[in-house]
Structure 1
Amino acid sequence: ELAAAVRDAFEPRPWRLWADDPRESIATRVRAAQETGCFDRWQRQMNSTGPRPGWSVRAVFEWADQGVERGTPLHVPAARCLTAVAGPEDRPEILEAARSGTEGARCTALRYLADGNDPDVLDLIEGAVATGATPVVEAAVAAYERMRSLAAVDRARGWVHRPDALGAAAGRVLACRGAAQDRDLVLAALREAVRGEGPDAPTLWTLVDGAGRLGIACAAPVLRHVYRETASSHLRGRAARALAATDPSFAAGFAVECLWDCEETTRELAARHAETGDNRVVERLRRLAADPAEEDEVQTAVRSRF
C-alpha cells in the first residue's frame, strides 16, 4: 500500500523529504517504496496490452473496441496506430469499418481517413452522423473539423445549413478556413449559436474568431452582445479582438473598458486601440506602464502609444 501511495502521488516532493528523514526506520521504508514504484512502472510498460509492431488493421480495431468496453475511448491513438500499420491494400477494410463497423472500429476508421484526406471520407462522415450512435457522431464531427482540404471547406458550405452537430461543425470550419464569400454563412452560424445556445456556448469561441478574421462588420451587434453577456473572460477577450476588427466604435467604446480587464491579452489589445482623447484612458495607460506587476506585452503596447 505504501508503494502504491508513493507511485500514484500527485505531489512527489513530500515523499522525497520523508526519504531523507533522519529517522532511519521511516527513511528506509519510503526509499524502498520509491524503488518498488519505479519497478512497477517499468513492469507495466513491459506488460502493456497496447499496440505492438506487427499488429494488423483488425488488431487495431479490436483494441479500439476494447477501449469502448472499458469506457475509455481509444479511437484517437488507434487511428495513429493505423497510420503505422495500414497499407494501400487495407483501404477496403478500413472503408467498410467506417461505413458499418463496430463503435470503436468505426470511430478509428473515420479519424484515420479524415487525417489522410481520403476522397470518400466526407460521405462516410455524413453517413456516420445520420446513422451512428452518439459516440460515433461525435468522433465523425471531430474528425471532420480537423480536415484542412479545400474539399472539406467546400462541403461545409453545403452542410452549414444543417440543424445538427455536423451543421455546427461546418460553421466552425468556415470560420477557421473560409473565404470572404463565406461571411454571410459564418454570420448566420454565429447568430444561430447565440440564439440557440446562449453567450457561453463552446462553439462561439471559433465563430467569434472567424467573424474577426473575415472582418464581418455586420457581426458587431452580436459580438457586443457576447462581450457583455458571456461569463468567460477568455471569450470576452476573443469578442473584443473581433470587435477591434469589425466595429469602428470599438476604440472609443469597449476598448476603454478593456483596459481594466482581468486578462492580460485583453488589456494589451485595449492598450493598442483605446482612443487617448479620454483622460481616463491616458491615466490608465500611465498606470499600466508604471505597474511593475504588469505583463511585458501590455507595457510594450502602452509604450507604443506614447
Structure 2
Amino acid sequence: MVHVVGVLAMDGVVPVDLSIPCAVFERVERADGVPFYEIRVCGEAPEVRARAFGLRVPFGLDALSTVDTLVVPGIDDPTVPVAPTVLAAIRQAWAAGARVASICSGAFVLAATGLLDGRRATTHWLAAGRLAERYPSIDVDPNRLFIDEGRIITSAGASAGLDMCLHLVRRDLGQSAAAQAARLAVAPLDRDGGQAQFIRHEPPRTSACLAPVLEWMLENVDQPLSIRAMAARAGMSERTFARRFQEQTGTTPMQWLLSVRIRRGQELLESGSASIDQVALASGFASPVTFRTSFRKLTGVSPASYRARFNAERRLER
C-alpha cells in the first residue's frame, strides 16, 4: 500500500523547505523497487507565491484529508495570520489519523492549530524565542535538529528538515531504506550535535553601572578571574556584586564569564590554526579538558567538530 505524503503550499512558502520532503520521499522504494511514497503538494489556491516566483499546485486543501503524512514547510513571515481554511485542513488531517510534521517556521503554523499545545517542539533557532513567547503552552527546545513526539514531529532549519525526513523514512521502512535515501540526497544519515552549534553565544546585556567591570572582564578573559577580583574592580562587596550582577544580567558572574570564554573559543576556532589546547588557554580555561566539556555542553559538539564545520581552512586537530 502506498504511503501518501501531503506537502502544504501556502503563500510565502519557503521554496527549499517545500522541496526537501518531495526530493527525499519520491526516491524511496520498497525492496521490490516499487515506490513507497506518493507526494501530493496541496495549496490554498491553484497558484501560490514563493518569494521570487509563483508555484502551480496540483492539489487543493481537501486532498489533505486522505494523506498519511502531512508536512508543513516554513513560511517567510510567521507573524502573518494563517488562513482559517488552512488551519481547518491541518486539524482535519490530524483527526483522520495523519502524522504531521513541520520544517523551520512551519512550526508556527502547527502552533496556530493548537496541535503543539503541551508538547515539545523546535523551530529555527532564530525564531525559537518568538515561538515560545507567542505560544507559552509549547515546550520549545531551540537546541534540537528535530523533535519526534510520535504523530507530531517538528524540525529546525532547512537542513534539519532533511534530517527529519530521513528519520521518518527510517521509522517507516528501517535503517537500510533511510541510508539509501541519505546516499541519494548526498547527506549524512545522522548528524552529531544540534542547533546550538550554530548559535552565537553572546553574553547577556546589562546596564551602564556594570559596564566598566564587564569591559575589563572581556579584556582579561584569558586570565583567571575570581568573584573577589570582579567585585573589587566594581568597588563592591562580593555579595553585593553577585546580587547586582544577577539583577542586571539575569545570570551569575561566572556563568556570564563562561559564555564569553566559549564565544572567544568559537572565534579562535573559526579562524586560525591554533591547536585545541592553545585555544582553550587563550579562552581562559585552565584545562583543555574543561574547555572541551564546557564547549560541548553549550554548543552540542566538540571543539574539533566545530572547527571542521566553521573554519574556512577546515583544519582538524590530529
Answer whether TM exceeds 0.5 for this pair. Answer: no
Name whichever structure is richer in helix by fraction.
Answer: 1
Q: Which has the higher contact order (CA 8 A, sep 6+)?
A: 2
TM-score (normalised: structure 2): 0.31
TM-score (normalised: structure 1): 0.32
